[in-house]
């Protein structure tokens, strides 16, 4: 099977594949508690991206970014972070490079909360510069997954949390050899459901994780992974039919 990773292709195989779509993965390097690897936020969306690309035509996954904006997690080892400014510029440069080679259909799969505002700012700037571009963003799969799975899937806090029940589960289904469940510990902050209080992570939990990591299971993770991959494949096929635009009609 031909590789879906851009870094594996060469001039000839790239041309022959007729690539017109790219999947971009933005991750981070930071603690996710004692039990999950530093690369969690890249491992998960990169795996999703590769699996999605395998089921699509003319689609490639560009090399993932293993750093994100993680300064609000820097009290724990081993955070390596870009600033908001740097990350926004990097994302814009990557998008511009794709445009230069005529790739104007892009699906961004983000793995890390701190990247969300930078992706939004960069994507909006590029969309203004290149209006015929289609840029789709799954910016927080850990929130979205709750809408895609039956409500009783998770036991605690709807599976939320940084390294919590949901994230631990999907990492168990993605890179099981890198998970140490004997170190799984988290806390659940009582957050207001309406107004957002801007936090540094140590305000939410005494550990590197929040939520209930010890409730994570590989079974839940496999379900999450399957549902997200199926959804994204259907989404891209729908976008291809619609020219990467909304369908709109009068009420």
Residue among 107 and 171 whose Cβ is closer to Zn ion: 171
Q: Which is nearer to Zn ion, 30 or 158 (CB)?
A: 30
| Least distance to Zn ion, CB of residue 74, Å | 12
Angle at 158 between CA 38 and CA 113, to 5 degrees: 40
Q: Which stretch binds Zn ion (CB under 5 A): 41-49, 79-87, 131-139, 218-226?
A: 41-49
Angle in degrees, CA 137, 150, 36, rounded to 5: 60
Give the nearer residue to Zn ion in terms of CB position, either 112 or 225: 112
Q: Which of 41, 51, 139, 214 binds Zn ion (CB under 5 A)?
A: 41
For residue 28, state whether it binds Zn ion (rule: CB under 5 A).
yes
Judged by beta carbon, residue 118 or residue 126, the one nearer Zn ion is: 118
Stretch that binds Zn ion, among 22-30, 45-53, 192-200, 213-221 (CB under 5 A): 22-30
Decide whether 71 or 99 has the Cβ nearer to Zn ion: 71
CA atoms of 52 and 61, how far apart (whole Å): 9
Minimum CB separation of residue 41 from Zn ion in Å reads: 4
Nearest distance, CB of residue 246 and Zn ion, angstroms: 30
From the list 25-33, 47-55, 94-102, 152-160, the region that binds Zn ion by CB under 5 A is 25-33
Structure tokens at 210: 């929040």
Which range binds Zn ion by CB under 5 A, 33-41, 55-63, 209-217, 233-241?
33-41
∠ CA 63-66-72, nearest 5°, is: 150
Rounded to a whole number of angstroms, the minimum distance from the CB of residue 173 to Zn ion is: 18
Is residue 115 close enough to count as binding Zn ion by CB under 5 A?
no
**How many CA atoms does the CB half-sphere of 30 hold within 13 Å?**
27
Residue 112 binding Zn ion, by CB under 5 A: yes
End-to-end CA distance of the chain: 46
Residues 164/167/169/173 CA torsion (nearest 10 deg): -160
Segment lying near Zn ion (by CB under 5 A), choices 36-44, 94-102, 168-176, 200-208: 36-44
Q: Which residues of 84-116 are buried (b: 16+ CB within 10 A; e: fewer)?
A: eeebbebbbebbeebbeeebbbbbbbbbbbbbb
Phi, psi of 16 (to 5 degrees): -65, -30
- Site membership for Zn ion, residue 139 (CB under 5 A): no
The residue nearest Zn ion at its CB is 112
> Residue 63 has which token pair?
């090399």
In sign, the C-alpha dihedral spanning 112, 116, 118, 120 is positive
List residues near Zn ion by CB under 5 A: 28, 41, 112
């Amino acid at each position: 099977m031909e590789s879906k990773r851009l870094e594996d292709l060469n001039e000839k195989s790239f041309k022959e594949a007729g690539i017109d779509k790219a999947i971009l993965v933005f991750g981070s390097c930071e603690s996710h508690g004692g039990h999950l690897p530093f690369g969690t936020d890249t491992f998960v969306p990169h795996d999703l991206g590769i699996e999605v690309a395998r089921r699509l035509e003319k689609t490639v996954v560009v090399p993932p970014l293993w750093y994100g904006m993680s300064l609000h997690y820097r009290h724990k080892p081993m955070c390596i972070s870009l600033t908001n400014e740097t990350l926004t510029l990097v994302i814009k440069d990557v998008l511009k490079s794709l445009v230069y080679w005529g790739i104007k259909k892009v699906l961004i799969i983000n793995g890390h909360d701190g990247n969300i505002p930078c992706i939004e700012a960069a994507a909006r700037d590029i969309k203004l510069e290149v209006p015929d571009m289609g840029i789709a963003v799954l910016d927080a799969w850990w929130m979205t997954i709750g809408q895609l799975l039956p409500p009783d899937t998770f036991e605690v806090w709807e599976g939320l949390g940084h390294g919590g029940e949901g994230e631990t589960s999907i990492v168990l289904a993605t890179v099981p050899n890198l998970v140490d469940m004997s170190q799984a510990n988290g806390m659940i902050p009582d957050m207001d459901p309406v107004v957002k209080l801007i936090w540094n992570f140590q305000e939410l939990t005494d550990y590197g994780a929040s939520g209930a990591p010890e409730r994570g299971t590989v079974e839940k993770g496999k379900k999450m992974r399957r549902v997200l991959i199926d959804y994204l494949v259907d989404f891209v096929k729908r976008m291809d039919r619609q020219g990467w635009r909304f369908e709109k009609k009068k009420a």
